[in-house]
Structure 1
Amino acid sequence: MSRFKYDETAFKPNQREAALALVEREFTPTKERKTKDQIAEDCGISRMTLHRWETGDPNFIAYKNHLASQFIDTKLPFVYSKLLDSIKSGSTKSIELYLKRIGDLNDQSELTITDKSNTMSHEERKKALLARLEKES
């Protein structure tokens, strides 16, 4: 089920075709892209109508986002393979992401710092830790 809510019965003529063409345009290399004028012409609508749908028709926008989401979902195996490559190369950020993905690490995890020298106060250690975490992000 799509997280983008749209009503197929409310589509105007040529909206499905136009939404698909706009999504394809976004995933096509720049040099090979159709212009929005070409898309409008191919769909038998004016460029102004296409613009109104793109910017002011929530149902059309939701459908277009649904189509884009479906396309991105097809790339998930590639994304996971790159994540695993990054883990193999020792990326701690990737390892953290993987552990969060499988549920072994969450934002509620507890971090214990053992500082035997005890030269820094709790607040100083906290600030230093937050600064290091900020750098890694």
Structure 2
Amino acid sequence: MANKARFKFDETKFRPKQREAALMLVEREFAPKEERKSLQQIADELGMSRMGLYKWDKHDPNFIAYKNYLASEVMDSHLSLVYSKLIEVIEKDGNTKGIELFLKRIGDLDTKSEISLTDNRGEESFEDRKTALLERLGQGATGSEE
């Protein structure tokens, strides 16, 4: 089930018919092309203008976030199918991309890398470090051979 907090919508700010409109728009996106309702048909069913529906769909961040949440819910309902297809590809081809996706999903492959740098030189000045380096190179503090 999709995490509502991730989508950051506020249900208290919904206008009348926004829930129904969002659901209808999501259903439209997942329907086969030949079965999709037009935006005008959806607007007519809701008793509103197509332009009003368009404005919600393209310019209302709260509505868009809710619609994305609903779409995520639909996708979650297909998760077992996606996993089964992923396993089929891995078994059939030994597909490395499929294996990578699977390992990322179960948390065994992390794409994040962390580099930690520690400065152990303390408060030594540049001149002191330069002198020490030149001495290790056998050139003395002046930079000339002795």
TM-score (norm: length of structure 1):
0.74
2:66 to 60, 63, 82: 63
Number of residue equivalences: 109
In 1, distance between residues paired with 2:84 and 2:51? 42
The equivalences for 1:34-113 within 5 A come to: 34-89=37-92, 90-107=94-111
Greater displacement, 93-102 / 14-23? 93-102
1:14–1:44: 8 Å Cα contact kept in structure 2? Answer: no
Q: Percent identity?
A: 61
Shift of 1:5: 1.1
1:96–1:105: 8 Å Cα contact kept in structure 2? Answer: yes
For the pair shown, the structure with the greater C-alpha radius of gyration is 2
Which structure is richer in relative contact order (CA contacts within 8 A, separation 6 or more)?
1
In 1, distance between residues paired with 2:47 and 2:95? 50
Superposition CA RMSD, Å? 1.5
In 1, distance between residues paired with 2:109 and 2:14? 43
Change (3 A) 1:62 1:82: same
For residues 61-87 of structure 1, give each alpha carbon's deviation from its aligned partner in whole angstroms, at most 9, with x where no partner exists: 111111001001111100100111111
**Structure 2 residues not aligned, in runs of 5+:** 114-146
In 2, distance between residues paired with 1:56 and 1:101? 33
Change (3 A) 1:32 1:108: closer
Equivalent position amino acid for 1:36 in 2: L
Moved over 6 A (4+): none
Equivalent position amino acid for 2:84 in 1: S
1:11 to 8, 11, 14: 14
TM-score (norm: length of structure 2):
0.70
**Structure 1 residues not aligned, in runs of 5+:** 110-137
